[in-house]
C-alpha cells in the first residue's frame, strides 16, 4: 500500500497500482510459456507419480524413465476423450528420477515440467520424490554454497578449459581456507554433470548443514582432454581447428590426468582460498572418472590422501588396463607406502563393470592395500553415483 501514502491522490494511485498489477498479469499470461496446460509430474502422498500430457493429435504416447527396468523400457499412457494422456506409477522410493515421453516414437521432454537435466547430448525431464534419499538432492532453506563456472589455462592440453567450482557456505563472506575434493565425471559427461545429474552442490549444502560433512570445495573438471568445455559452451574457433577431433581415445591417453596435476591443481590452489597439501586433497570419480582417479593416484602416490573410485576397476590384467601387471604392482606398492587416509570403492551389483571392480579388489587384497568397499543394488547409474558421493563426502578430511 506504498501508493496510498506516497501519492497526493491515494485513490487514483491505488487504481493505477491495481491497473499496473492487472496489466503485468496480462503481460505474463500473454506468453504461451506461462500457460501450463496440465500438471506433470505430480508426486502423490503415497509417492506414486502421475504424468500427464495433452496430445489430442498423437497416435501414441509412452514414457520411459530411470525407475523402469533396463534401457529402452517404456509404458503406454492412457488417453481420455479430450486427448489428455495420463499414467500413474507405483509408489517410488525417495530419489531423483529422469524420464522422457515418446510421442509417436519421438523422444521429448515433458512440456509441463520445467526441470531438465542434460546427460551428455540428451536432455531429459527430472523430478525428485521426497521423504528419504531424495531430500538430500532437494534445495532447502539452509545456507548454500556457490557454484562458479570458471575458465583456466591448460598448457598441458594447449587450450583454455572450463571447470565448475563449488565453494561452501561462508566462503565469500569469510577468510577460511578449505580442503578440496576433485570430482571426476564419466565417459560422455562433462564439467556440468556432477552439479546437474549429480546434484553435488545441493548434496554438499545439505550434508554440511546437517553437520555430516566438513565444509569443502569441490572442483569439477572436464575429463575429455580434447574438449575445452561441455558441448553447450565449446569455443567455436577451437571446434573449427579440429581440436575436438581427438575422439574418445583421448580419454585414456593419460593427457587429462597429466593436466589435472600440472594445470588444474596449481590453478585452484593459486586462485582460491584452499588448504594445500595431501591431507587437504581428495579425488574421486565415476566410471571413466574412476579410471582417471586410479591412473592419477597410482602415478602420483601421496598427492591425494583421500581416494574414491566409483563403478570402475583398473587392473593390470583386466580389459581396462593400459599398462602391465608389473608396473601396476610397483605403483600400488608406492601408493601403500604413501599411507592414504581413505581408499573408498563403490559399485552396483548389476554394474557391467562389476567384474572389473571384483578383480581390482582381489588385486588390492593380494597387494595389501586397505580400502572401504560399498556395494549397492543397481548398475552403472547416477542413482548410485549420487548415493556414493553422499556416503563418501562425510568420510573426507577427518
Q: What does the DSSP 8-state code read for residue 378?
A: S
Can residue 234 be called a binding residue for a second copy (CB under 8 A)? yes
Among residues 78, 242, 80, 233, the alpha carbon closest in space to that of 164 is found at 233
Grid coordinates of 34: 506461462
Stretch that binds a second copy, among 228-236, 301-309, 364-372, 389-397 (CB under 8 A): 228-236
Residue 76 or residue 339: which is nearer to a second copy going by CB? 76
Part in contact with a second copy (CB under 8 A); list of ranges 117-125, 208-216, 276-284, 369-377: 117-125
Q: How far is the CB of 320 from a second copy (least distance, A)?
A: 5
Mark 254-283 with x for binding to a second copy (rule: CB under 8 A) and - for no binding: x---------------xxx-----------
Select from 39, 75, 78, 121 the one that contacts a second copy (CB under 8 A): 121
Contact call for residues 63 and 99 (beta carbons, < 8 A): yes
The single residue among 193, 288, 387, 392 that binds a second copy, judged by CB under 8 A, is 288
**Around 282, how many Cα atoms within 13 Å sit in the side-chain half-sphere?**
27
Which of residues 15 and 339 has its CB atom nearest to a second copy in the complex? 15
Instruction: Verify binding: residue 119, a second copy, rule CB under 8 A.
Output: yes
28 lies in the binding site for a second copy (CB under 8 A): yes
Rank residues 249 and 368 by Cβ distance to a second copy and give the closer one.
Answer: 249
The interface region with a second copy, picked from 88-96, 100-108, 212-220, 371-379 by CB under 8 A, is: 100-108
Those residues whose C-beta lies under 8 Å from the C-beta of residue 84, and which sit 6 or more positions away, are 38, 52, 53, 54
By CB under 8 A, is residue 149 in contact with a second copy?
A: yes
| Binders in 157-196 for a second copy, by CB under 8 A | 159-160, 162, 172-173, 187-188
Q: Report d(CA 10, CA 286) in Å as an integer.
A: 63
Closest to 284 in 3D by CA, of 293, 275, 274, 297: 293
Please tell me whether residue 327 binds a second copy under the rule CB under 8 A.
Answer: yes
Residue 26, burial from CB neighbour count under 10 angstroms (0-12, 13-18, 19+): exposed
Q: Is 231 in the site for a second copy (CB under 8 A)?
A: yes
Q: Which residue has the cell 581396462?
A: 320
Q: Which of 39, 114, 279, 372 binds a second copy (CB under 8 A)?
A: 114
By CB under 8 A, residue 31 contacts a second copy: yes
Closest CA to 68 of 375, 378, 384: 378
Nearest C-alpha neighbor of 351 from the set 290, 282, 283:
290
Cell numbers representing residue 339 in the block: 599411507
CB 304, min distance to a second copy, A: 20
Amino acid at each position: 500500500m506504498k501508493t496510498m501514502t506516497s501519492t497526493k491522490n491515494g485513490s487514483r494511485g491505488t487504481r493505477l497500482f491495481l491497473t499496473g498489477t492487472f496489466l503485468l498479469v496480462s503481460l505474463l499470461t500473454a506468453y504461451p510459456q506461462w500457460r501450463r496446460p496440465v500438471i506433470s509430474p505430480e508426486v502423490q502422498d503415497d509417492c506414486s507419480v502421475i504424468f500427464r500430457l495433452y496430445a489430442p493429435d498423437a497416435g501414441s504416447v509412452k514414457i520411459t524413465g530411470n525407475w523402469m527396468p533396463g534401457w529402452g523400457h517404456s509404458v503406454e499412457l492412457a488417453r481420455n476423450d479430450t486427448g489428455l494422456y495420463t499414467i500413474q506409477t507405483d509408489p517410488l522410493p525417495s530419489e531423483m528420477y529422469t524420464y522422457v515421453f515418446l510421442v509417436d516414437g519421438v523422444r521429448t521432454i515433458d512440456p509441463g515440467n520445467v526441470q531438465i537435466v542434460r546427460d551428455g547430448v540428451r536432455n531429459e525431464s527430472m523430478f525428485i520424490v521426497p521423504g528419504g534419499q531424495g531430500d538430500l538432492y532437494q534445495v532447502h532453506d539452509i545456507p548454500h554454497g556457490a557454484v562458479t563456472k570458471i575458465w583456466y589455462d591448460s598448457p598441458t592440453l594447449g587450450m583454455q578449459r572450463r571447470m565448475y567450482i563449488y565453494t561452501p557456505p561462508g566462503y565469500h563472506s569469510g577468510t577460511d581456507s578449505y580442503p578440496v575434493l576433485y570430482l571426476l565425471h564419466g565417459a560422455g559427461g562433462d564439467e556440468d554433470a556432477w552439479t546437474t545429474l549429480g546434484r553435488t552442490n545441493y548434496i554438499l549444502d545439505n550434508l554440511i548443514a546437517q553437520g555430516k560433512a566438513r565444509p569443502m570445495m569441490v572442483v569439477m573438471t572436464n575429463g575429455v582432454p580434447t574438449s575445452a568445455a561441455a558441448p553447450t559452451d565449446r569455443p567455436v574457433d577451437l571446434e573449427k581447428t579440429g581440436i575436438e577431433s581427438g575422439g574418445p581415445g583421448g580419454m585414456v591417453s593419460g593427457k587429462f590426468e597429466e593436466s589435472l596435476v600440472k594445470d588444474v591443481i596449481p590453478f585452484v590452489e593459486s586462485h582460491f582460498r584452499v588448504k594445500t597439501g595431501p591431507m587437504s586433497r581428495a579425488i574421486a570419480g565415476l566410471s571413466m572418472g574412476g579410471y582417471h582417479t586410479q591412473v592419477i593416484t597410482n602415478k602420483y602416490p601421496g598427492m591425494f590422501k583421500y581416494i574414491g573410485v566409483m563403478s570402475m576397476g583398473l587392473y593390470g590384467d583386466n580389459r581396462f588396463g593400459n599398462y602391465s601387471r608389473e608396473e601396476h604392482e610397483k605403483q600400488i606398492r608406492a601408493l601403500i607406502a604413501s599411507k592414504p587416509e581413505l581408499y573408498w570403492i563403490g559399485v552396483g551389483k548389476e554394474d557391467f563393470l562389476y567384474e572389473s571392480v571384483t578383480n581390482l579388489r582381489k588385486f588390492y587384497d593380494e597387494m595389501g592395500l586397505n580400502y572401504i568397499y560399498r556395494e549397492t543394488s543397481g548398475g552403472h547409474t547416477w542413482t548410485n553415483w549420487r548415493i556414493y558421493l553422499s556416503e563418501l563426502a562425510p568420510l573426507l578430511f577427518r
